[in-house]
Structure 1
Amino acid sequence: MSVNAYVRARKVAETPRSTEFRLMTEITAQMIAARDAGFSGVQLAPALHRNREVWGAFRTLCIDSANALPDELRAGIISLSLWVDKYTSQVITGRESVDELITVNRTVMAGLANENGAVPVG
Protein backbone atom coordinates (compact mmCIF):
# COMPACT_ATOMS: atom_id res chain seq x y z
CA MET A 1 0.00 0.00 0.00
CA SER A 2 1.41 3.39 -0.91
CA VAL A 3 1.88 6.07 1.72
CA ASN A 4 -0.82 8.21 0.11
CA ALA A 5 -3.31 5.36 0.23
CA TYR A 6 -2.47 4.78 3.89
CA VAL A 7 -2.99 8.47 4.71
CA ARG A 8 -6.33 8.51 2.88
CA ALA A 9 -7.48 5.35 4.68
CA ARG A 10 -6.43 6.74 8.06
CA LYS A 11 -8.34 9.98 7.45
CA VAL A 12 -11.50 8.01 6.68
CA ALA A 13 -11.14 5.73 9.71
CA GLU A 14 -9.99 8.29 12.30
CA THR A 15 -12.38 10.02 14.63
CA PRO A 16 -11.66 13.56 15.82
CA ARG A 17 -10.71 12.13 19.23
CA SER A 18 -8.27 9.62 17.73
CA THR A 19 -6.78 12.40 15.58
CA GLU A 20 -6.27 14.50 18.72
CA PHE A 21 -4.68 11.50 20.46
CA ARG A 22 -2.35 10.84 17.52
CA LEU A 23 -1.32 14.50 17.34
CA MET A 24 -0.69 14.72 21.09
CA THR A 25 1.34 11.50 20.91
CA GLU A 26 3.54 12.89 18.12
CA ILE A 27 4.11 16.23 19.84
CA THR A 28 4.77 14.69 23.24
CA ALA A 29 7.22 12.22 21.73
CA GLN A 30 9.00 15.13 20.03
CA MET A 31 9.30 16.99 23.35
CA ILE A 32 10.56 13.84 25.11
CA ALA A 33 13.14 13.19 22.38
CA ALA A 34 14.39 16.78 22.59
CA ARG A 35 14.59 16.63 26.38
CA ASP A 36 16.36 13.26 26.30
CA ALA A 37 18.85 14.64 23.76
CA GLY A 38 19.81 17.18 26.40
CA PHE A 39 18.02 20.14 24.85
CA SER A 40 16.75 22.89 27.08
CA GLY A 41 15.49 26.44 26.77
CA VAL A 42 15.45 27.79 23.25
CA GLN A 43 16.77 24.47 21.87
CA LEU A 44 13.32 23.05 22.61
CA ALA A 45 11.61 25.73 20.51
CA PRO A 46 10.57 23.55 17.55
CA ALA A 47 8.85 20.97 19.78
CA LEU A 48 7.41 23.64 22.06
CA HIS A 49 6.08 25.63 19.12
CA ARG A 50 4.11 22.63 17.84
CA ASN A 51 2.74 21.98 21.31
CA ARG A 52 1.74 25.61 21.73
CA GLU A 53 0.03 25.56 18.32
CA VAL A 54 -2.09 22.51 19.13
CA TRP A 55 -3.12 23.93 22.48
CA GLY A 56 -4.02 27.20 20.75
CA ALA A 57 -6.17 25.22 18.31
CA PHE A 58 -7.88 23.43 21.22
CA ARG A 59 -8.55 26.83 22.81
CA THR A 60 -10.02 28.23 19.58
CA LEU A 61 -12.28 25.21 19.16
CA CYS A 62 -13.48 25.47 22.76
CA ILE A 63 -14.22 29.18 22.51
CA ASP A 64 -16.64 28.46 19.65
CA SER A 65 -20.19 28.38 21.06
CA ALA A 66 -21.07 25.65 18.55
CA ASN A 67 -18.64 23.26 20.30
CA ALA A 68 -20.68 20.36 21.70
CA LEU A 69 -18.42 19.67 24.70
CA PRO A 70 -19.88 20.51 28.11
CA ASP A 71 -19.24 24.11 29.15
CA GLU A 72 -17.19 23.07 32.20
CA LEU A 73 -14.89 20.89 30.07
CA ARG A 74 -14.51 23.63 27.45
CA ALA A 75 -13.60 26.13 30.19
CA GLY A 76 -11.05 23.69 31.63
CA ILE A 77 -9.42 23.19 28.23
CA ILE A 78 -9.29 26.94 27.63
CA SER A 79 -7.73 27.49 31.07
CA LEU A 80 -5.20 24.72 30.50
CA SER A 81 -4.29 26.08 27.07
CA LEU A 82 -3.60 29.50 28.60
CA TRP A 83 -1.37 27.86 31.22
CA VAL A 84 0.47 25.92 28.48
CA ASP A 85 1.09 29.15 26.59
CA LYS A 86 2.48 30.94 29.65
CA TYR A 87 4.50 27.97 30.89
CA THR A 88 5.99 27.41 27.44
CA SER A 89 7.48 30.90 27.57
CA GLN A 90 9.10 30.02 30.89
CA VAL A 91 10.57 26.82 29.42
CA ILE A 92 11.97 28.64 26.40
CA THR A 93 13.67 31.21 28.64
CA GLY A 94 15.19 28.42 30.75
CA ARG A 95 13.22 29.23 33.92
CA GLU A 96 11.27 25.96 33.88
CA SER A 97 11.67 22.38 32.64
CA VAL A 98 9.72 20.85 29.77
CA ASP A 99 8.70 17.99 32.07
CA GLU A 100 5.48 19.67 33.26
CA LEU A 101 4.30 20.15 29.66
CA ILE A 102 5.03 16.49 28.96
CA THR A 103 3.05 15.50 32.06
CA VAL A 104 0.06 17.63 31.03
CA ASN A 105 0.07 16.15 27.53
CA ARG A 106 0.30 12.60 28.90
CA THR A 107 -2.64 13.29 31.21
CA VAL A 108 -4.73 14.56 28.30
CA MET A 109 -3.65 11.58 26.21
CA ALA A 110 -4.74 9.22 28.98
CA GLY A 111 -8.16 10.89 28.98
CA LEU A 112 -8.41 10.58 25.22
CA ALA A 113 -7.31 6.94 25.44
CA ASN A 114 -10.09 6.19 27.91
CA GLU A 115 -12.52 7.29 25.22
CA ASN A 116 -11.05 5.41 22.25
CA GLY A 117 -9.04 2.51 23.66
CA ALA A 118 -5.69 3.83 22.44
CA VAL A 119 -2.55 3.33 24.53
CA PRO A 120 -0.75 6.47 25.77
CA VAL A 121 2.92 7.07 24.98
CA GLY A 122 5.23 5.94 27.82
Structure 2
Amino acid sequence: MSLQAYQKTAQRSEDPRQTEYRLFGQVTRALMEADQLDKSEVARRMDALDWNRRLWSVLGTDCALPGNGLPETLRAQIISLSIWVNRHTSSVMRGQEEIGPLIDVNRLIMQGLMPRQETPSASDAAFVGTVRASLG
Protein backbone atom coordinates (compact mmCIF):
# COMPACT_ATOMS: atom_id res chain seq x y z
CA MET A 1 0.00 0.00 0.00
CA SER A 2 1.36 3.39 -0.93
CA LEU A 3 1.86 6.09 1.66
CA GLN A 4 -0.91 8.22 0.11
CA ALA A 5 -3.38 5.31 0.20
CA TYR A 6 -2.49 4.66 3.84
CA GLN A 7 -2.99 8.31 4.75
CA LYS A 8 -6.40 8.40 3.04
CA THR A 9 -7.47 5.24 4.86
CA ALA A 10 -6.22 6.60 8.19
CA GLN A 11 -8.06 9.87 7.67
CA ARG A 12 -11.33 8.10 6.90
CA SER A 13 -11.12 5.92 10.01
CA GLU A 14 -10.09 8.69 12.44
CA ASP A 15 -12.59 10.62 14.47
CA PRO A 16 -11.96 14.39 14.84
CA ARG A 17 -10.38 13.90 18.27
CA GLN A 18 -7.83 11.43 16.84
CA THR A 19 -7.07 13.81 13.97
CA GLU A 20 -6.49 16.67 16.42
CA TYR A 21 -4.25 14.43 18.55
CA ARG A 22 -2.19 13.43 15.51
CA LEU A 23 -1.85 17.05 14.35
CA PHE A 24 -0.82 18.22 17.82
CA GLY A 25 1.76 15.42 17.84
CA GLN A 26 3.26 16.56 14.55
CA VAL A 27 3.35 20.23 15.55
CA THR A 28 4.75 19.45 19.00
CA ARG A 29 7.47 17.26 17.50
CA ALA A 30 8.43 20.16 15.20
CA LEU A 31 8.59 22.51 18.21
CA MET A 32 10.76 20.03 20.12
CA GLU A 33 13.14 19.78 17.18
CA ALA A 34 13.19 23.58 16.84
CA ASP A 35 13.97 23.90 20.54
CA GLN A 36 17.09 21.78 20.04
CA LEU A 37 18.36 23.86 17.12
CA ASP A 38 21.02 26.49 17.50
CA LYS A 39 19.52 29.98 17.80
CA SER A 40 21.20 30.80 14.47
CA GLU A 41 18.81 28.36 12.70
CA VAL A 42 16.23 31.13 12.57
CA ALA A 43 14.22 29.97 9.54
CA ARG A 44 13.69 26.42 10.82
CA ARG A 45 12.76 27.67 14.30
CA MET A 46 10.33 30.22 12.85
CA ASP A 47 8.67 27.58 10.64
CA ALA A 48 7.84 25.40 13.66
CA LEU A 49 6.70 28.37 15.73
CA ASP A 50 4.52 29.65 12.89
CA TRP A 51 2.95 26.20 12.35
CA ASN A 52 2.04 26.01 16.04
CA ARG A 53 0.66 29.55 16.02
CA ARG A 54 -1.46 28.79 12.95
CA LEU A 55 -2.83 25.62 14.60
CA TRP A 56 -3.86 27.56 17.68
CA SER A 57 -5.26 30.40 15.57
CA VAL A 58 -7.51 27.95 13.72
CA LEU A 59 -8.65 26.44 17.02
CA GLY A 60 -9.41 29.86 18.48
CA THR A 61 -11.25 31.00 15.36
CA ASP A 62 -13.28 27.79 15.24
CA CYS A 63 -14.26 28.16 18.89
CA ALA A 64 -15.44 31.71 18.21
CA LEU A 65 -17.97 30.53 15.60
CA PRO A 66 -21.59 30.41 16.78
CA GLY A 67 -22.10 26.91 15.34
CA ASN A 68 -19.26 25.36 17.35
CA GLY A 69 -20.65 22.44 19.35
CA LEU A 70 -18.30 22.65 22.32
CA PRO A 71 -19.58 23.98 25.64
CA GLU A 72 -19.28 27.76 25.85
CA THR A 73 -16.86 27.65 28.80
CA LEU A 74 -14.52 25.26 27.00
CA ARG A 75 -14.66 27.38 23.87
CA ALA A 76 -13.70 30.47 25.88
CA GLN A 77 -10.80 28.63 27.49
CA ILE A 78 -9.47 27.45 24.12
CA ILE A 79 -9.74 31.00 22.76
CA SER A 80 -7.78 32.24 25.80
CA LEU A 81 -5.09 29.62 25.21
CA SER A 82 -4.96 30.63 21.55
CA ILE A 83 -4.34 34.25 22.55
CA TRP A 84 -1.65 33.19 25.03
CA VAL A 85 0.07 30.99 22.40
CA ASN A 86 0.07 33.91 19.95
CA ARG A 87 1.64 36.29 22.49
CA HIS A 88 4.16 33.77 23.79
CA THR A 89 5.16 32.81 20.25
CA SER A 90 5.85 36.45 19.42
CA SER A 91 8.05 36.68 22.53
CA VAL A 92 9.93 33.53 21.51
CA MET A 93 10.46 34.92 18.02
CA ARG A 94 11.93 38.09 19.54
CA GLY A 95 14.24 36.01 21.73
CA GLN A 96 12.51 37.07 24.96
CA GLU A 97 11.02 33.67 25.87
CA GLU A 98 11.72 29.98 25.39
CA ILE A 99 9.85 27.40 23.29
CA GLY A 100 9.40 25.00 26.22
CA PRO A 101 6.09 26.40 27.55
CA LEU A 102 4.52 26.03 24.10
CA ILE A 103 5.59 22.38 24.05
CA ASP A 104 4.21 21.89 27.57
CA VAL A 105 0.79 23.32 26.65
CA ASN A 106 0.58 21.16 23.53
CA ARG A 107 1.49 18.05 25.51
CA LEU A 108 -1.20 18.80 28.08
CA ILE A 109 -3.78 19.24 25.33
CA MET A 110 -2.64 15.96 23.77
CA GLN A 111 -3.21 14.22 27.11
CA GLY A 112 -6.76 15.52 27.07
CA LEU A 113 -7.24 14.31 23.49
CA MET A 114 -5.93 10.81 24.14
CA PRO A 115 -8.49 8.09 23.43
CA ARG A 116 -10.40 7.08 26.55
CA GLN A 117 -12.47 4.10 27.53
CA GLU A 118 -15.32 6.16 28.96
CA THR A 119 -17.49 8.72 27.23
CA PRO A 120 -16.04 12.25 27.15
CA SER A 121 -17.53 14.46 29.84
CA ALA A 122 -17.42 17.91 31.34
CA SER A 123 -13.95 17.02 32.65
CA ASP A 124 -12.61 18.28 29.30
CA ALA A 125 -13.53 21.82 30.33
CA ALA A 126 -11.92 21.35 33.74
CA PHE A 127 -8.75 20.05 32.06
CA VAL A 128 -8.37 23.08 29.81
CA GLY A 129 -9.14 25.34 32.77
CA THR A 130 -6.30 23.72 34.70
CA VAL A 131 -3.92 24.33 31.77
CA ARG A 132 -5.06 27.94 31.56
CA ALA A 133 -4.61 28.49 35.29
CA SER A 134 -1.10 27.02 35.18
CA LEU A 135 -0.13 29.59 32.54
CA GLY A 136 -0.95 32.42 34.91
Taking structure 2 as the reference length, the TM-score comes to 0.80
Unpaired runs of at least 5, structure 2: 118-136
Matched residue, 1:5: 5
Matched residue, 2:63: 62
Q: Report the Cα distance in structure 2 between the residues aligned to 1:83 and 1:29, rounded to whole angstroms.
A: 20
| Greater length-normalized contact order (CA 8 Å, ≥ 6 residues apart) | 1
Q: Kindly indicate whether residue 44 of structure 2 is the aligned counterpart of residue 37 of structure 1.
A: no
Q: Report the Cα distance in structure 1 between the residues aligned to 2:75 and 2:111, rounded to whole angstroms.
A: 17
Matched residue, 1:79: 80
> Residues 63 and 6 of structure 1: is their aligned pair in 2 closer, same or farther, counting only changes over 3 Å?
same
Aligned 8 A contact 2:18 2:115 in 1: no
Q: Report the Cα distance in structure 1 between the residues aligned to 2:111 and 2:8, rounded to whole angstroms.
A: 26
Q: CA RMSD in A?
A: 1.9
> Residues 97 and 41 of structure 1: is their aligned pair in 2 closer, same or farther, counting only changes over 3 Å?
farther
1:39-91 CA deviation, whole Å, 9 max, x = no partner?
47945200000000000000111001111100000000000000000110000
Matched residue, 1:107: 108
Q: Report the Cα distance in structure 2 between the residues aligned to 1:20 and 1:108, rounded to whole angstroms.
A: 10
Aligned 8 A contact 1:42 1:94 in 2: no
Q: Report the Cα distance in structure 2 between the residues aligned to 1:114 and 1:81, rounded to whole angstroms.
A: 23
Q: Report the Cα distance in structure 2 between the residues aligned to 1:106 and 1:84, rounded to whole angstroms.
A: 13
Taking structure 1 as the reference length, the TM-score comes to 0.88
Q: Report the Cα distance in structure 1 between the residues aligned to 2:3 and 2:66, rounded to whole angstroms.
A: 37
Amino acid corresponding to residue 7 of structure 1 in structure 2: Q
1:64-120 CA deviation, whole Å, 9 max, x = no partner?
11111000000000000000001100000000000010001001011111548xxxx
Q: Percent identity?
A: 41
Count of aligned positions:
117
Amino acid corresponding to residue 36 of structure 1 in structure 2: Q
Unpaired runs of at least 5, structure 1: 117-122
What secondary structure does 1:67 align onto?
coil
In the TM superposition, residue 3 of structure 1 has moved relative to its aligned partner by 1.3
